[in-house]
Amino acid sequence: MNQPKTDKSSGGVQAAYHALLASGRFMIQRCADCRRPVFYPREVCPHCGGIRLEWTQPCGEGTVYAVTTVRRKADAGGAYNVSLIDLDEGVRLMSRVEGLAVDDVRTGQRVRARVVVSNGVGLVVFDPLDSKGPTT
Partner 1 sequence: MSASLRELRGSVAVAGVAIFGCGEAHGYTEMEVLARAAHGAVADAGLKLTDIDGLCTASVGATMWPMPVAEYLGIRPTFINGTMLGGSSFVAHLLSALLALQAHQCNAVLVCYGSTQRTAQFGRKEVEAGRKFVDPQPYEHPYAPMLPLSAYALAASRHMHQYGTTRRHLAEVAVAARAWAAKNPEAFMRDALTIEDVLDSRMISDPLTVRDACLVTDGGGAYVLVRAERARELPKKAVYVLGNGTALWHRQISSMPDLTVTAATQSGRAAYQMAGMTAKDIDVVQLYDAFTINTLLFLEDLGFCRKGEAGAFVENGGIAPGGRLPVNTNGGGLSCTHPGMYGVFTMIEAVRQLRGECGERQVAGARTAIAHGNGGTLSSQSTAILGTDDVL
Residue from 43, 47, 78, 80 binding partner 1 (CB under 8 A): 80
Does the protein bind partner 1 through residue 87 (CB under 8 A)? no
Yes or no: say if 81 and 126 are a contact pair by the CB < 8 Å rule. no
Does the protein bind partner 1 through residue 68 (CB under 8 A)? yes
Does the protein bind partner 1 through residue 110 (CB under 8 A)? no
Q: What is the DSSP string of 59-100?
A: -SEEEEEEEEEE---GGGT--EEEEEEEETTS-EEEE-B-SS
Residue 101 CB, shortest distance to partner 1, in Å, is: 13
Does the protein bind partner 1 through residue 57 (CB under 8 A)? no
Beta-strand pair 53-56/37-38: unpaired
Does the protein bind partner 1 through residue 107 (CB under 8 A)? yes
118/135 Cα distance (integer angstroms) = 29
Q: Which residues bind partner 1 (CB under 8 A)?
A: 14, 18, 39-40, 65-71, 80, 82-84, 92-96, 107-108, 123
